[in-house]
Amino acid sequence: MDLFNLTGKVAVVTGSSRGIGRSIAIQLAKAGARVVISSRKLAACEAVVQTIRETGGAQGGKAMAIAANISDKAQVEALVAQTRAAWGGIDIMVCNAATNPYYGPMTGMSDEVFDKIMRNNVLSNAWLCNLAYPDMKAKKNGAIIIVSSIGGLHGSSVIGAYNISKAADMQLARNLAVEWGPDNIRVNCIAPGLIRTDFAKALHENPVLKAKVEGETPLRRIGEPDDIGGIAVLLASAAGQYITGQTIVADGGMMIR
């Protein structure tokens, strides 16, 4: 278990008030990390902090809430600054927050919508990574995890711009892994398939679509948030110390069927 021990590490997880981000934050805390819970609404973040304090166990259980809108660079900078002021340098950065405000073909999509998707899903991740970099460089150790999607591995007639942003996240991880590898900073993506979250409820709450996905998935089920949380612990810990620039697909086998 020492390979997965994160005691003494400081982690920031964006979009962690619910869904995949919440699971990642809870699992990092259980492994011993001090975790910053961040999303737009402070009350929702504080609820997750309370859950971590109640269920963290003997090893974990340390968390604090900092509200931030990832589309606002000043708020992202404040998130990192407040984390440093409270706990010191950041060891683990999890870029999970994302948006998909549009469902339909890209033909005719407004520039404003496309810009919003790329800003929230790619540019904000670049901000977060660059802000955490000095801390990790100083320690000659760090782990960055970007939550992408299997959407970045295939085309779509209805969420094309979202998929483009998720493919860009994979390339962002590869580029930063090359640049920052000499400083022993690992940068990886997790690409979930369909997960039972509020973000994807339009898909998994549709019984016809849900049955179709389950029927085509080798494991014959859609994913749960906790199917992703453990992967983040692997990538953040010594167990994943020789993994960088990779995209780990967690989709029940959907992409290999």
* Domain spans in the chain, listed from the N-terminal domain onward: 2-256
pLDDT of residue 58: 47
Contact 188, 248 (CB under 8 A): yes
Tell me phi and psi for residue 247, to 5 degrees. Answer: -115, 115
The pLDDT of residue 227: 96
In a structure prediction context, what are the per-residue pLDDT tens digits for the chain, which is 257 residues long?
699 999 999 999 999 999 999 999 999 999 999 999 999 999 999 999 999 998 865 455 699 999 999 999 999 999 999 999 999 999 999 999 999 998 899 998 999 999 999 999 999 999 999 999 999 999 999 999 999 999 999 999 999 999 999 999 999 999 999 999 999 999 999 999 999 887 777 777 788 888 888 999 999 999 999 999 999 999 999 999 999 999 999 999 999 99
pLDDT at position 117, please? 97
Domain 2-256 annotated CATH 3.30.1360.10 = no
Amino acid 108: pLDDT: 87
Task: Let me know if 162 is a catalytic residue.
Answer: yes
Instruction: Indicate the pairing of strand 62-65 with strand 185-192.
Output: unpaired
From 32, 34, 36, 33, select the one nearest 16 (Cα to Cα): 36
Active-site hit among 102, 103, 133, 162: 162
pLDDT at 118: 98
